[in-house]
Homo-oligomer: A and B are copies of this chain.
Amino acid sequence: LLVNTFKWAVLGTAVGILAGLGVRLYLYILNHAIGFGHALDRFGIPHFWLLPLILPLCVLLAHITTRQKAHDDLESQEGTDAVIEAIHTRSGRLDPFAIPVRLFLSILTLFGGGSVGKEGPAAQIGALFSSLLSDLLRLSDEDRRRLVICGVSAGFAAVFGTPISGALFGVEVLYLGRLEYPVLFPCIVAGIVGHLACGASPPVPVLVPGNGHAHQLSQPMLVLLSLLSGVFFGLVAMLLIETMRFLDQQLRRFASHPFWVAVFGGTALAVLYQLAGSGYADLSEPLIRSALEGTARIMLLAFLVKIIATSLSLKTGGAGGIVTPLFFIGSTAGAAMAQILHLPVPLFARFGFVAVLAAAANTPIAASVMALELLGGHFGVEAALCACTAFLIVGHRSVFSSQYLGYSKA
């Protein structure tokens, strides 16, 4: 076991370094691409009007490079989902040419303002490097599978800036209600190293207790509120999942015309942004931050707009992840709830942040640990309770269709 531990510590470190540096490069390019997109706004027409062109281009490129039926590509454009599927069905074997194309597509989607996340591509980078490393070391299928899980964990840890919960997310997201213990150790090694190599900071500063945000609430009241808000966040997550499923079913009958679907999706998105504001486009990080800080008064239905934008982006041809949109939806839903009920906004925005993640991705443990990483021991406890409640509410639904059912919830 000592040899085994040593072997996996070394492998985890190697994957962590590769994935961390890869994600770092990816984030660098991505930031410039998004900045370039915003720079185009100076020419009078907002850059998101490029979407009706960009989404069909994504579909076309995906079609050329993967040589599959076009609609199949549409279905697996969500980065994390594609990786989960590869781990479950092909021992993590990935097409080394398809991934760079997908990364390029996700950058293109975000450049145009598609509402997708940056962590799906990060997971793909981690998976790609670990798959290549497995080829190089001629690992067995079982070892390859584990190493790819490590790569995914490292990718998440690097891009979220939260080493432990990022790594746990990579392990927990594979199954609904099951955790694979044997990969825990190398994944945490890979997560920590990946986080260090990437150097990204956590999405939000840790909320220090005692800055007056929640002092008016007694502890039992806080527990009750976290239970009730957990139910609310669970319903929000359910709404997202059902919206995506509904859109998927409606678009299925146009499956033979993927380009027109993409043109329609891009146009609809552009109209939506024109009406609701360009803050909902791309990663929407300024809005997430202001929701968490409670500085801006956010439109109460912001989370609904984002749900529609994300469903459209992912289902009509855009490439990218879904977790960053989840963060947006959760934190704005929490902020809206807190505004209506006159509760401390930063606290409940954070509750929503982790609870919607827990519910939509079925990762209560990773979300609870993230709550502790982001909130500290004080409010992290209640946030974890809120996340577990939300997780229970969504039942066996999931935003990741390739997630396996490991254990029944009821």
- Contact residues of A with B, CB < 8 Å? 1-2, 4-5, 9, 163-164, 177-182, 184-185, 188-189, 192-193, 196, 206, 219-220, 223, 227, 231, 364-365, 368-369, 372-374, 376-377, 380-382, 384-385, 388-389, 391-393, 395, 406-410
Is the pair A384, B164 in contact by a Cβ cutoff of 8 Å?
Answer: yes
Q: Which residue of B lies closest to A6 (CB)?
A: B231
Contact of A164 among B181, B381, B406, B407 (CB under 8 A): B381
Is the pair B364, A184 in contact by a Cβ cutoff of 8 Å?
Answer: yes
Is the pair A196, B220 in contact by a Cβ cutoff of 8 Å?
Answer: yes
Is the pair A2, B177 in contact by a Cβ cutoff of 8 Å?
Answer: no
Contact of A188 among B181, B377, B385 (CB under 8 A): B385
Query: Mind listing 10 A-B residue pairs with CB under 8 Å?
Result: A9-B389, A178-B181, A181-B364, A181-B409, A184-B391, A185-B364, A188-B384, A188-B385, A192-B223, A192-B382
Contact of A381 among B1, B163, B364, B377 (CB under 8 A): B163
In the complex the two chains form, what is the Cα distance from A179 to B178 in whole Å?
7
Which chain B residues lie closer than 8 Å to A220 at the CB level? 196
Whether A192 contacts B410 in the complex (CB less than 8 A), given A2-B231, A181-B178, comes out as no
Contact of A5 among B206, B231, B380 (CB under 8 A): B231
Sorted from nearest, which 5 A-B pairs have the closest CB atoms? A177-B181, A372-B372, A185-B388, A373-B377, A185-B392
Is the pair A1, B188 in contact by a Cβ cutoff of 8 Å?
Answer: no
In the complex the two chains form, what is the Cα distance from A185 to B177 in whole Å?
12
Q: Which residue of B lies closest to A163 (CB)?
A: B381
Which chain B residues lie closer than 8 Å to A189 at the CB level? 223, 227, 385
How close is A233's CB to chain B, nearest CB, in angstroms? 12
Whether A388 contacts B188 in the complex (CB less than 8 A), given A196-B219, A369-B369, A381-B164, comes out as yes
In the complex the two chains form, what is the Cα distance from A410 to B408 in whole Å?
26
Which chain B residues lie closer than 8 Å to A410 at the CB level? 1, 4, 182
Whether A182 contacts B382 in the complex (CB less than 8 A), given A219-B196, A376-B377, A395-B1, comes out as no
6 more contacts with CB within 8 A, not counting A181-B407, A188-B384, are A1-B410, A5-B389, A5-B393, A181-B364, A196-B219, A365-B365
Is the pair B219, A185 in contact by a Cβ cutoff of 8 Å?
Answer: no
Whether A185 contacts B389 in the complex (CB less than 8 A), given A164-B368, A369-B369, A410-B4, comes out as yes
Contact of A408 among B182, B184, B372, B382 (CB under 8 A): B182
Contact of A372 among B164, B177, B389 (CB under 8 A): B164
A5, A220, A389, A395: which has the most chain B beta carbons within 10 Å?
A5
How close is A212's CB to chain B, nearest CB, in angstroms? 19
Q: Which residue of B lies closest to A382 (CB)?
A: B192
Is the pair B1, A392 in contact by a Cβ cutoff of 8 Å?
Answer: yes
How close is A363's CB to chain B, nearest CB, in angstroms? 11
In the complex the two chains form, what is the Cα distance from A391 to B406 in whole Å?
23
How close is A244's CB to chain B, nearest CB, in angstroms? 19
Which chain B residues lie closer than 8 Å to A188 at the CB level? 368, 384-385, 388
Is the pair A377, B206 in contact by a Cβ cutoff of 8 Å?
Answer: yes
